[in-house]
Amino acid sequence: MADAYVALEDGRVFEARSRSPGRTRGELVFTTAYTGYEESLTDPSYEEQVLTFSYPLIGNYGVRDERFESDRVHPRAAVAREFTDDVAEWLAGEDVPAVDHLDTRELVTSVREEGAMKCGIAAGQDATPEAAREELAECKGMSEHTDIGAQVSTPEPYTVTGGGEYDVALVDCGAKGSIASSLAERGADVHVLPYDADPATVADLDPDVLFVSNGPGDPANFGETQSLVEEFVGELPLAGICLGQQIVARAFGGETEKMAFGHRGVNQPVRDLESGTVVMTTQNHGYSVADPGRLDVTQVNVNDDTAEGLASEEYDVVTRQYHPEANPGPHDSLGFFDEVLDLTGRSRTPVAAD
């Protein structure tokens, strides 16, 4: 007998098995990654979403906190064909509902054909279909989460030291830990700042690069971050990953849009327009750059031609829509961090906030 239910906004209710009890709601999305469940579940970009794993068995190599990308689980709930006890116990300890023993192929197909959709989940001894529908009725769309930056950003600045050869101001919109460590491994001191940092804070740091991180939700809801970027256009080299690319594009007059079901997984092919080289990439985003504004598109997704890389020689800008730091995923694009730090070699004068 089922003790968990997943209610979708198209009216269907899936019966399931509870592995971690609770009631919750969120946008239902899926990832195609075979491995990296620890990294995915601790990725802040999944905030306010219900993460479905398309791979049928999740947890076959245990749970190790050294693989975590942040200090907590971010999806509102997790769904799989089968979770091992290790993962189920971890999620229960984090008070994150988890369900399995349902047809995830049908769930993934539904999202692929109809787009990411709202869902409600009820799991545990007293779970009912009605309870799942009640959660669904309270679910917001991702664009409605106007305060999502505050949910995932650091409340106070801190520094990840890497030798002091470079100084990078990393604006934390929900940054994966591997972004800071990838820069630190290359000799950078990474000064991690809140998503709504004051321009004067950046000016006082006088960094070599202003770097906008990944994060969840609609880039239009990160107005403070966009204003910060606009403040330093032409004064500092600018870089961004994922949500960071979208925010930088908007700061240069570009436009963003919500995708039908997004790109989430470790097998997304990306073509460089100058070299023609295709690399495999890790991705996790539900929005994309529809118009790059004053920036140039340098890389595109092979499957749907969405913008995967932007640049400007005039303004010293380089961004990626995917995750060059991977974790999980292929390491084809780790050179992006070298490209970012190469921007620091260009002469510039100290910055000052207006």
Q: What is the set of active-site residues?
A: 242, 323, 325
Residues 6 or more apart in contact with residue 118 via CB below 8 angstroms: 8, 9, 25, 26, 27, 28, 136, 139, 140, 141
| DSSP structure class, residue 323 | B
**Using CA atoms, how far apart are residues 171 and 194, in angstroms rounded to an integer?**
6
Please indicate if the annotation marks 51 as binding a ligand: no
DSSP string computed for 329-345: S--TTTHHHHHHHHGGG
Please indicate if the annotation marks 243 as binding a ligand: yes
Please indicate if the annotation marks 226 as binding a ligand: no
Please indicate if the annotation marks 246 as binding a ligand: yes
Dihedral through CA 135, CA 137, CA 143, CA 146, nearest 10? -70
Which residues is 23 bridged to in the sheet?
122
Comparing CA positions, the residue from 250, 157, 243, 276 lying closest to residue 207 is 157
**Using CA atoms, how far apart are residues 313 and 324, in angstroms rounded to an integer?**
21
- Residue pair 290/253 in contact (Cβ under 8 Å)? The answer is no
Please indicate if the annotation marks 215 as binding a ligand: yes
| C-alpha dist (Å) from residue 129 to 5, 6, 136, 159, 164 | 6, 8, 11, 47, 56
Place of tokens 């997790």: 78
Look up residue 288 and give its two tokens. 């994309």
Which residues is 50 bridged to in the sheet?
28, 77
| C-alpha dist (Å) from residue 175 to 194, 213, 316, 327, 348 | 10, 5, 22, 13, 27
Please indicate if the annotation marks 164 as binding a ligand: no
**Using CA atoms, how far apart are residues 191 and 170, in angstroms rounded to an integer?**
6
Please indicate if the annotation marks 49 as binding a ligand: no
Q: What angle do CA 85, 90, 94 make, to 5 degrees?
A: 145
Q: What angle do CA 81, 67, 330 make, to 5 degrees?
A: 80
**Using CA atoms, how far apart are residues 206 and 349, in angstroms rounded to an integer?**
9
Please indicate if the annotation marks 335 as binding a ligand: no
Annotated binding site: 45, 215, 217, 243, 246, 284, 286-287
Annotated binding site for L-glutamine: 45, 215, 217, 243, 246, 284, 286-287
